[in-house]
Amino acid sequence: MSSRHVLTIDGPAASGKSSTAQWVARTLGWRHVDSGSVYRAATFARQQSPGTPATWTEPSVLSAAAGIGLTPVDGSFVPTLAGTPLGDEIRNLVVTAEVSRVAQMSGVRQWVNRVVQQAAEGHDVVVDGRDMGTVVFPDASLKIWLVADPWERARRRLQQRLGRGPSDEEIAAETDELVQRDAKDATQTVQARDAVLIDTTYLTQPEQVERIAALARSVASKR
């Protein structure tokens, strides 16, 4: 039986997973699912209901998240809340500060896993996150573990955010934040034993995309 192909890309924050996954999916003609966007959408949905973040319980997050869906758009998926597409609001400061804690709620993880699996059903997909290759798609045809030096990850993130080359002081402060974020997400960021490690510190984005697409083509041709 010819089965669909699932390529998982996991790794720490700002390792370029989502942009690489999106680009690889486009190169292969597969669909891209960004699991982090679903955790962010759930956090954003909860933010829209009353109560400060300290009062956010798992049931209240799950209840707010009930209005979330993933809608296919241009070979990718956009999270929606009550049918309205969510954009940059899922990257607001409160969401970014609180999403790690929300992502540690086991019921929320089970819910996100189901949403991601349902979106991926019946398609060749590239899915990115922290535990796609271990928990959500343990039988994936190809698993990538994407890493990069924290300083370089911080530099890239700032370059994207500021649209200019950041100073060493700016990179140092961002590196500090990134290392703290890695520590917060550590329990759910798990390298699959059968993952291919790609360190992108010294790779350009086209190089990493081509490397992963070549691996995916090779695996797909054998199935």
Give the count of residues interacting with ligand DC (CB under 6 A).
Answer: 14
In the complex, least distance from residue 169 CB atom to ligand DC, rounded to whole angstroms: 24
Tell me which amino acid residue 162 is.
L
For ligand DC, what does the binding mask look like between residues 160 and 199, x meaning CB under 6 A?
-------------------------x--x-----------
Distances (CA, A) of 12 to 23, 36, 118, 145: 18, 11, 24, 9
b/e 160-199 (16+ beta carbons within 10 angstroms → b): eeeeeebeeeebeebbeebeebbeebeebbbbbeebeebe
> Among residues 112 and 209, whose Cβ is nearest to ligand DC?
112
Strand, coil or helix: 157: helix
Interface mask toward ligand DC for 121-140; x: CB under 6 A: --------xxxx--------
Q: Which two tokens stand for residue 115?
A: 């949403």
183 or 197: CB nearest ligand DC: 183
**Which positions from 38 through 97 interact with ligand DC, judged by CB under 6 A?**
39-40
Helix, strand, or coil (residue 222)? coil
Closest separation between CB of residue 163 and ligand DC, Å?
A: 20
| 115/209 with CB nearer ligand DC | 115
Nearest to 25 by CA among 77, 64, 85: 77
Q: What residues from 7 to 36 belong to the interface with ligand DC (CB under 6 A)?
A: 13, 35-36
Residues that bind ligand DC (CB under 6 A): 13, 35-36, 39-40, 99-100, 103, 129-132, 185, 188
